[in-house]
Amino acid sequence: MRFAVVQFPGSNCDQDCVHALRGLGQEARLVWHHETRLDPDEGVILPGGFSYGDYLRCGAIARFSPMMQSVKAAAERGQVVVGICNGFQILCEAGLLPGALTRNEGLHFRCEPSHLRVESPASRFTSGYGTGQMLRIPIAHGEGCYRAEPKVLEELEARQQILFRYCDAEGRVTAEANPNGSSHSIAGIRNQAGNVLGMMPHPERACEPEMGGLDGRGILLGAAGIGRSA
Amino acid sequence: MKAKEFALKLGLTEEEFDRIQNGLGREPNETELGMFSVMWSEHCSYKNTRKELRKFPTTGPAVLVKAGEENAGVVDAGDGLALAFKIESHNHPSAVEPFQGAATGVGGILRDIFTMGARPVAFMDSLRFGRPDAPGEAGKRTRSLIHGVVAGISHYGNCVGVPTVGGELVFDPAYEGNPLVNVFCLGTLRHDQIRRGAAKGVGNPVFYVGAKTGRDGLAGAAFASRDLTEESKADRPAVQVGDPFVGKLLFEACLELYARPDLVVGVQDMGAAGLTCSTCETASRGGSGIEIELRKVPQRETGMTPFETLLSESQERMLIIVRKGRERELKEIFARWGLDAAEIGTVTDTGRVVVMEGGKVVADLPARMLADDAPVYERAAMTPAKLAEKQKYDLGKILPAQPRVKEDLLKLARSPATGSRRWVWNQYDHMVGLRTVVRPGSDAAVLRVEKPGGGWVRVAMTLDGNGRWCAQDPREGSKALVAEACRNLACAGAVPLGLTDNLNYGNPHDPELFWQLREGVEGMAEACRAFDLPVTGGNVSLYNQSPSGPIHPTPVVGVVGKVDEGVKLAPAVFSTGGGEVVLLGTTASGGLGASLYLQEVHGVIAGKLAAVDLVSEKKLHAVTRMVLAQPGVRAVHDVGEGGILWALAEMTFGEGSAGGEFRVPCGKERPEEALFGEGAGRILVELDETSMPTVENLAKEGGVELTHLGRTGGKDLQVTVHGAEMIWPVAELRDGFEKSLPKALGP
Amino acid sequence: MKAVVTVTLKPSILDPQGEAVLHAVKGMGLQEVKSVRIGKHIELEIEGGDEKKLKAKLEEISRELLSNPVMENFHLDLRAGG
């Protein structure tokens, strides 16, 4: 599958995403945020980083980029959109996903491996895993605490839109295992239609043994429409 | 105000003023005096230390850009790949405003690297503070400094997307009033991508790119024609604020610019002394002149005088000389990245820096005079009167009659001096870029770097300093530092390629303190020659002292090396049990002189390091690299502060908390000396039993001693020395290790 | 009683946030905006206590805790009621 990785001023993980996707046999191109052309069969990746320095609020300025209009239209048409870390923040600011990402409860930036529990098998993004499977994928963020109104959280749970939750090494979802205080230990969610994924951990950093593990492959392959990861 | 009076106010000496006046053949004006005051300051000209710095070996087959030539040195890593790296300090600004001081330190070193044409790929930082667990106000202030500095480095480094992969964090009362913040950056480039900071080609346009100019950095500078009122004081910020977002845009735009063939003629960042420094240095290197018009300089304040514009230290600005006719290309690239790009002048052939405001000349100076002709001083050096007393060392008076090693190790494990620095590196994104192969926490960081023709090469790097060793014996201490850095690289299977140094010392006008610097430089130079290690550049930071006195003499070295092809990287910790552990290198412990053990457990700094055997050290590193290419090597870790006992303890802190049973060699010395002595030339290796014959052979052929220490297994650390056996549960040691730093720092 | 403390950057200090927002504001069509500076609005709810003593203490807190005197100014406003 072909992917467009959007570069905003301040994006840092754009090249990493391209590298990971190509390593998985997918085509990937970089698109500057001022461009507007997206092909109808392209998947979109909003990579991690510090778009606009995270100034004002993370993703608050990036959402007004010309490319975001095209991404919105693509999402509405059912094209796959994956927002990683800063990308997740941008999707929330743009209204493509509900809720918001706020400052980590501990107030510090945290870069470390995290354990994730796969919650729902029904999504293309988790089709490469079994429900309850535990993944080891790194996090690196200062504003990853997911918040939404109680009603919204209820709906996310009811509709199985929560795809990944933070857990401990034994797969238990506990307060101690939650690195940033996210409500319901939410690490990643999908939209109702199921074509848009937002997650704080970095799957592109878990696609090579030398980089610390392969657990991220399933998510990117899932985005590409490939079920069970190789 | 008369010119001479003003010159003195600016910090120039009477002799320097006369030298300027004679050199110009006329009286300099206030703006010109301002330019000299910054260019001839110690920070920019190294006038107090140049004679000493010349003692460093700076040449070698791998050196592509030598120390002193450009903003950073560059070494050849083979296969067409080059590495640019450098270390710099931001000590005093970090004491004033820790967050911004540290952040702008990171921003500054970043610019030094991409100025050379390199893509920055890693940071490391060396931080020194007073003890965070000191009582009362002192401890409170120290904790606040630590939080601020780490947050500042995190803020800038993470935002620009360059991973911080290593460094050190050291606590000692000597740094309480004067913290040290040294930041290192490494970048990669092809040989043909090296950029020089030279202004060449008469008529070529000179561009200013990046952030607008304000009054940053002028708080300390004297006022010229304005009265110093409370208002005007407020106008000049006491702290420079860095904008990492603009820093990131700037380096991406510059790298894109460099990729266009023949477009960029010369490039220089605006760091200390901003516009003044960048113009005269590029002109001097190019053997040319530069003419600029200040009205064209983008300014974010109104009413700035020429003095202010020329001396401003606003961050995130570059000076770029472009080939005439291709101005549009530069403007397009910078417009795309949302950055100011103003054509402010031209290259001339007069050899002079001519500054105009509204068409009127406000400064006209020979470029070389500003950039290169600062006086070189020979400072007096005197062996400290109290040196012998300081080095006095009566273990009988310091150590208890009966050794209490069991408690001693626990005390060491619970001290923030030895604790895990995870609290620090978890705040740094150390994985961005997908190049980090060995993350923080090991002996050396290792990155994988793309070779121009395809494939990867692994680059290892480490940052090392030791104020205590150098306080007790500046020469031997510096030698030991270089040896340790190279030993750390050997643990990653890497051959050292180049060294960058940050010399942190006190007042150079104090002969006893200057003696420390001279000794330190000579010790480092000797060690560098022994390791065939060129010094590629660095930084000098003087006047580091507070009301309580000067800091320990603290040279910090950053060493970069290339990992041998066949090497399989091994962790610095035991994984599971069943391995054999050997000591490669000397069994001599080196005694307890200047040791961390004496300082942490007995509260004294006494004695001095044993002499470093550089020849044996080099053999040890060569053998270690060969051993790492063998199958069956499970772990490797060098012995340093805390001696062989602490090194063994550290190896038990892996995921499995595997312990072991070991016998530590002991000469005619107290057990504490054998266990905690910090003598150089020792590396611990854990390996499969089946690999032992091969490793023994390699050691023998390489002229390196090998001593069997024991086996790994179980959950306890069991050590026998002089027949006495001691046991510690690994869990207890590890608990101390993991909690000591967070505990000392609070949230 | 309510204390409202407004913390702003000293005039000559660079405001990277403000710069980025200015750029975005212009991008949204408002070219007339020439500068943006961003500060903090802090509210403290207070019950009881002597107003004069409170004012002095609040000023100390504003200076030592709520603002960074190296880079910021503050303005304290004490209001009756809630």
User: Rounded to whole angstroms, how far apart are CA atoms B678 and B687?
Assistant: 24
* Both structure tokens of B164: 């911080």
Q: What is the pLDDT of residues A215-225, one digit of tens each?
A: 999 999 999 99
Which parts of chain A have pLDDT scores under 50? 229-230
For residue A228, tell me if it sits in a domain: no
- What residues form DSSP beta bridges with A112? A139
What is the ipTM score, two decimals? 0.96
* Alpha-carbon distances, residue B285 vs B321, B364, B370 (angstroms): 13, 18, 12
pLDDT of residue C64: 85
pLDDT of residue B452: 93
More confident residue, B738 or C11: B738
- The residues, any chain, with a CB within 8 Å of residue B54's CB and separated by 6 or more, are none
Which helix (DSSP H) or strand (DSSP E) does residue B123 occupy? strand B119-129
pLDDT (mean) for B378-387: 92
Question: In C, which residues are within 8 Å of A56 by CB distance?
Answer: 17, 20-21, 24, 38
Q: What are phi and psi of B555, to 5 degrees?
A: -75, 140
Residue B722 annotated in active site:
no
Is residue A171 within 8 A of residue A115, CB to CB? The reply is: yes
Indicate whether B229 pLDDT > 60.
no
pLDDT of residue B4: 93
- The residues, any chain, with a CB within 8 Å of residue B408's CB and separated by 6 or more, are B597, B601, B672, B676
**Positive or negative CA dihedral for B296, B297, B302, B308?**
negative
Overall domain count for chain A: 1
Q: Which domain holds residue C39?
A: 2-79
Is residue A64 within 8 A of residue C24, CB to CB? The reply is: yes
User: Rounded to whole angstroms, how far apart are CA atoms B7 and B588?
Assistant: 57
Which helix (DSSP H) or strand (DSSP E) does residue A90 occupy? helix A86-93
Give the CA angle between residues B267, B268, B269 to the nearest 5°. 135
pLDDT (mean) for B101-123: 97
Q: Are strands B456-465 and B554-563 parallel, antiparallel or unpaired?
A: antiparallel
pLDDT of residue B682: 98
**Confidence tier at B227 by pLDDT (50, 70, 90):** very low
Which helix (DSSP H) or strand (DSSP E) does residue B463 occupy? strand B456-465
pLDDT (mean) for B134-157: 96
Overall domain count for chain C: 1
Is residue B289 within 8 A of residue B350, CB to CB? The reply is: yes
Residues B110, B116, B119, B124: what is their CA dihedral angle, to the nearest 10 degrees?
-40
**Positive or negative CA dihedral for B96, B97, B99, B101?**
negative
Share of chain B above pLDDT 70, in %: 97
| Domain at A23, CATH number | 3.40.50.880
CA B231 to chain centre: 38
Establish if C36 touches chain A: CB-CB under 8 angstroms: no
Q: What type of residue sits at position B318?
A: M
Indicate whether B335 pLDDT > 90.
yes
pLDDT of residue A228: 58
pLDDT of residue C71: 86
- What residues form DSSP beta bridges with B205? B346
Given an 8 Å threshold on Cβ–Cβ distance, is B158 in contact with A50?
yes
pLDDT of residue A45: 98
Q: Which of B517, B523, B539 is nearest to B482 (CA)?
A: B523
| Cross-chain CB nearest to B245 (options A52, A107, A138) | A52
Q: Which of B650, B679, B184 is nearest to B463 (CA)?
A: B184
Q: What is the pLDDT of residues B612-629, one digit of tens each?
A: 999 999 999 999 999 999
pLDDT of residue B223: 53
Q: Which alpha helices (DSSP H) does B577-729 contain, by range?
A: 596-602, 614-628, 643-651, 671-676, 692-701
Question: In B, which residues are within 8 Å of C14 by CB distance?
Answer: 211, 214, 216, 237, 240-241, 243, 300, 314-315
Given an 8 Å threshold on Cβ–Cβ distance, is A19 in contact with B747?
no
Residue A33 annotated in active site:
no
**Confidence tier at B220 by pLDDT (50, 70, 90):** low
Q: What is the pLDDT of residues B288-302, one digit of tens each?
A: 999 999 999 999 998
pLDDT (mean) for B635-646: 98
Is residue A103 within 8 A of residue A145, CB to CB? The reply is: yes
pLDDT of residue B228: 47
Q: Which alpha helices (DSSP H) does C1-82 contain, by range?
A: 16-27, 51-61
Indicate whether C82 pLDDT > 60.
no
CATH number of B379-419+568-747: 3.90.650.10
Q: Which of B533, B528, B700 is nearest to B627 (CA)?
A: B700
Indicate whether B224 pLDDT > 50.
no
Indicate whether B715 pLDDT > 60.
yes
pLDDT (mean) for C33-56: 92
Q: Which of B341, B248, B254, B258 is nearest to B298 (CA)?
A: B341
User: Rounded to whole angstroms, how far apart are CA atoms B445 and B240?
Assistant: 31
Cβ neighbours of B158 (radius 10 Å): 27
Q: What share of chain C is helix, strand, coil (3-state, %, to 5)?
A: 35, 25, 40
> What SS3 state is found at B316?
coil
Question: In B, which residues are within 8 Å of A49 by CB distance?
Answer: 161
Give chains near A: 3+ CB pairs under 8 A: B, C
| Domain at C33, CATH number | 3.30.1280.10
Q: What DSSP line would sit under B76-88, residue for residue?
A: EEETTEEEEEEEE
Order of strands, edge to edge, in the sheet holding B535-541? B436-438, B445-450, B456-465, B554-563, B494-504, B535-541
- What residues form DSSP beta bridges with B206? B321, B345
Indicate whether B33 pLDDT > 80.
yes
- The residues, any chain, with a CB within 8 Å of residue B216's CB and separated by 6 or more, are B237, B240, B241, B312, B313, B314, B315, C12, C14
Q: Which of B472, B459, B462 is nearest to B523 (CA)?
A: B472
pLDDT of residue B747: 64
Is residue B75 within 8 A of residue B191, CB to CB? The reply is: no
Mutation choice for C interface testing from B241, B301, B309, B314 by most C CBs within 10 A: B241
Q: Which of A176, A179, A183 is nearest to A156 (CA)?
A: A183
Q: What is the pLDDT of residues B489-521, one digit of tens each?
A: 999 999 999 999 999 999 999 999 999 999 999
* Both structure tokens of B731: 């869990």
Q: Distance from A160 to chain B by nearest Cα, in Å? A: 31
CATH number of B50-371: 3.30.1330.10
- Give the predicted TM-score (pTM) of the model: 0.95
For residue A230, tell me if it sits in a domain: no
pLDDT (mean) for C14-23: 91
Give chains near B: 3+ CB pairs under 8 A: A, C
pLDDT (mean) for B669-690: 97
For residue A125, tell me if it sits in a domain: yes
The residue to which tokens 């605490």 are assigned? A145
pLDDT of residue B231: 57
Indicate whether B127 pLDDT > 60.
yes
CA A188 to chain centre: 6
Sorted by where each begins, the domain ranges of chain B are 50-371, 379-419+568-747
pLDDT (mean) for B134-138: 93
Which helix (DSSP H) or strand (DSSP E) does residue B357 occupy? strand B352-357
Mutation choice for A interface testing from C9, C17, C19, C25 by most A CBs within 10 A: C17
> Could you tell me which residues of chain A have a Cβ less than 8 Å from any Cβ in chain C?
52-53, 55-56, 61, 64
Q: Which of B444, B501, B479, B416 is nearest to B681 (CA)?
A: B479
